[in-house]
């Protein structure tokens, strides 16, 4: 692993203030595990409280609106999540694409707004089982990334992270195999180098997501071109999340 691994917990629509104790426990443990970069993306309502209480970990949002502000009832702008204390935003998650009909173009616009608000981006991509069985997984994922990248992104290595999350692996308890992950991550890396040049393209982190847990995290992050993980279900308790981080730390130590 060339870069410091990045382990991000995506809390999705889970968490009230009662869960702040988990965030605090994650933050305390993170202070002893500095070789791994750790972050949480709680629901909007918990961004500010988590940021206020956590010293070590990064805090991000799970979405933002492309506009600066205006008549968009129920939406939240990039500047608002930045103001609440977020340092990054997850964009293009398959649950947003499926549940809210988000298309690549909209995701690219959200990305532009996020960068303008000073946020980093974790851009999600991933194929359905149908696409994989049709032998079109790589083609689909690269097309998705290309179309949902914000135009003219500078310092991509610093500002952009890609999360490869096969839809069939999310919440299913069945992660992709290390062979499937290796093949996809190497294709994504090749695309990034072609798009951003040797240095910047190599510096963009590529995370794997989809049923990552403490038992499979070590072998997944040991795969070439895997720079960390985006973790859903297993990030909801400090114990299961930190067991993932510990497993990743072991890989670095060896
Ligand atoms: P999961 O979710 O770890 O529960 O599979 C990952 C994600 O959707 O980010």
Note the pLDDT of residue 2. 54
Q: Which residues pair with 6 in a beta bridge?
A: 37, 228
What is the C-alpha to C-alpha distance for residues 85 and 80, in angstroms, rounded to an integer?
Answer: 9
Query: What is the rounded average pLDDT for all residues in the chain?
Result: 97
Q: Is 77 a residue whose pLDDT tops 60?
A: yes
150 CB near ligand 1 (under 6 Å) = no
What is the sign of the dihedral through the CA atoms of 219, 221, 226 and 228? positive
Distance from residue 198's CA to the centre of ligand 1 (Å):
30
Contacts of 139 (CB under 8 A, 6+ apart): none
Note the pLDDT of residue 164. 98
What is the C-alpha to C-alpha distance for residues 234 and 171, in angstroms, rounded to an integer?
Answer: 10
Nearest ligand 1 atom, CA 211: 5
pLDDT band at residue 253, thresholds of 50, 70 and 90?
confident
Contacts of 116 (CB under 8 A, 6+ apart): 78
171 CB near ligand 1 (under 6 Å) = yes
Q: Is 1 a residue whose pLDDT tops 80?
A: no
229 CB near ligand 1 (under 6 Å) = no
Average confidence (pLDDT) over 115-127: 98
Distance from residue 210's CA to the centre of ligand 1 (Å):
5
Active site residue 165: yes
15 CB near ligand 1 (under 6 Å) = no
What is the C-alpha to C-alpha distance for residues 187 and 209, in angstroms, rounded to an integer?
Answer: 16
Q: What are phi and psi of 222, to 5 degrees?
A: -80, -10
Q: Is 254 a residue whose pLDDT tops 90?
A: no
List pLDDT tens digits, range 194-241.
999 999 999 999 999 999 999 999 999 999 999 999 999 999 999 999
Note the pLDDT of residue 175. 98
Note the pLDDT of residue 152. 86
List pLDDT tens digits, range 135-169.
999 999 999 999 999 988 999 999 999 999 999 99
List pLDDT tens digits, range 18-29.
999 999 999 999
∠ CA 226-238-120, rounded to 5°: 45
With H, G, I as helix, E, B as strand and everything else as coil, classify residue 42.
Answer: coil
Nearest ligand 1 atom, CA 171: 5
Nearest ligand 1 atom, CA 94: 8
Q: Which residue owns the Cα nearest ligand 1 atom 7?
A: 232
């Amino acid at each position: 692993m060339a870069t410091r691994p990045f382990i991000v917990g995506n809390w999705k629509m889970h968490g009230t203030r009662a869960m702040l104790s988990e965030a605090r426990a994650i933050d305390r443990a993170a202070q002893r595990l500095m070789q791994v970069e750790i972050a949480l993306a709680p629901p909007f309502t918990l961004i500010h409280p988590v940021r206020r209480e956590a010293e070590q970990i990064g805090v991000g949002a799970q979405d933002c609106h492309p506009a600066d502000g205006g008549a968009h009832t129920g939406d939240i702008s990039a500047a608002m999540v930045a103001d609440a204390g977020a340092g990054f935003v997850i964009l293009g998650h398959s649950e947003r694409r499926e549940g809210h009909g988000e298309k690549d173009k909209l995701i690219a616009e959200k990305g532009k707004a996020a960068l303008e608000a000073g946020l980093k981006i974790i851009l999600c991509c991933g194929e359905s089982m149908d696409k994989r069985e049709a032998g079109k997984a790589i083609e689909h994922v690269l097309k998705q990334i290309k179309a949902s990248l914000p135009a003219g992104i500078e310092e991509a290595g610093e500002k952009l992270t890609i999360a490869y999350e096969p839809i069939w692996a999310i919440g299913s308890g069945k992660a992709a195999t290390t062979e499937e992950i290796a093949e996809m991550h190497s294709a994504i890396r090749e695309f990034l180098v072609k798009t951003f040049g040797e240095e910047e393209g190599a510096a963009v982190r590529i995370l794997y997501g989809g049923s990552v847990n403490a038992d499979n995290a070590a072998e997944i992050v040991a795969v070439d071109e895997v720079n960390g993980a985006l973790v859903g279900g297993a990030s909801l308790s400090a114990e299961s999340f930190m067991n993932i981080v510990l497993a990743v730390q072991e890989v670095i130590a060896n």
